[in-house]
Amino acid sequence: MKKYFLIVSSFIIFLVMMAGCAPTRPITEERILSADRLIKRLEANRRKIKSFNGAGTIIVSSSQINARSTFQVTLKKPDSLKISFYGPFGIDLAHALITPDNFQFYDVINNNLYRGKMRDGIIERVLKVNFSFDELIDALAGSVNLTDKLRTEPDNFAVNGNTYVLTYFDSNSTVEKIYNVRSDDFAISENILKNTSGDVLMESKFTKFKNYEDVSIPHEINLNDIANKQNLKVEYRQIVVNKNVGSLKLDIPSDVKIIEW
C-alpha cells in the first residue's frame, strides 16, 4: 500500500510540474479578432483613461543631457500636462505645465519662471527631449494613439502565438510601423518604426502591466528614438487613473523672476 501511495503521489507531482511548465496556448481561431475590431478595441481602451497621475522615476538621455530624477506627472486628456521633478530627499527641482497653446517651466533652484506660447522646439528646451506634445502625452500615459488607423486596414496582419502583429506602411512607403499587441489583455507591448532598409528608427517598449478600470497600463515605458539619439525611460511605482484632477496649475512664489521665451 505504501509503495502504491508513493507511485501515485509521484505521478501527481509530475503532472503538476508539467502543467506549470507547459507553454501558454496560442490564440484559438475562434478568439482571433479581425484587424478592424482589434484597432477599435485598442482605441476604446486608450480613450477610457481621461486623467492619469503617476509617480516614479524618469531617465532622459539625449545629446543635451543624461539625467535621472524622481518625478510626478498629471495628465488631463487631451490637452494638459503637469510634470514635477525632485532631487534627493524630495527636494523640488522644477515644475512644468504644458498645453497645446502655452507652457510654464518653473526652475525652483534659481526661482525663475520661463513661459510663453507653445511652438516647435519648446518641449526640447524644457524637457531636453524632442517629442511633440501629443507624443509626450501618450508616452507618459503608456499608450499609443491609433486614431488615424481606425479607417485604415493594416498592410500586414498576423497572429504570432499570443501576439497580434499589425504592420502599416506610410503613403510613400518610406517607413513602416509595427505594433505588437498582447491577446490576453489587448495591451500594446511594442511599437516599432522602420525605414525601407529595415533599420529601426524608433522602438517603444511597454512592460510590467497592471489593470486599471479594465485597461492594462504599463509601469515601465522605454522610448528609444534611435534616429535622433534620444531615450526616455519611465518607471512608475504608483498610478491613479480617472480621478478628478481639477484645473492644473503651478504654485509660483510672488518673488519669482519671469522670463518670456
Domain residue ranges of the chain, discontinuous segments joined by +: 31-260
Residues in the chain predicted with pLDDT less than 70, given as ranges, are 1-30, 173
Helices (H) and strands (E) in the chain, counts: 4, 14
The percent of the chain in helix, strand and coil, each rounded to the nearest 5, is 20, 45, 35
CA gap 46, 145 in Å, rounded: 8
State the pLDDT at residue 196. Answer: 85
Report DSSP state, residue 243. Answer: -
pLDDT of residue 174: 87
Model pLDDT, residue 8:
43
Residue 131 pLDDT: 86
- Is 133 in contact with 123 (CB distance < 8 Å)? yes
Instruction: Name the CATH architecture for the domain at 31-260.
Output: Clam (2.50)
Name the pTM for this structure. 0.84
pLDDT of 80-98, one tens digit each? Answer: 999 999 998 789 999 999 9
Per-residue confidence (pLDDT) for residue 172, from 0 to 100:
76
Q: Residue 257: its pLDDT value, please?
A: 97
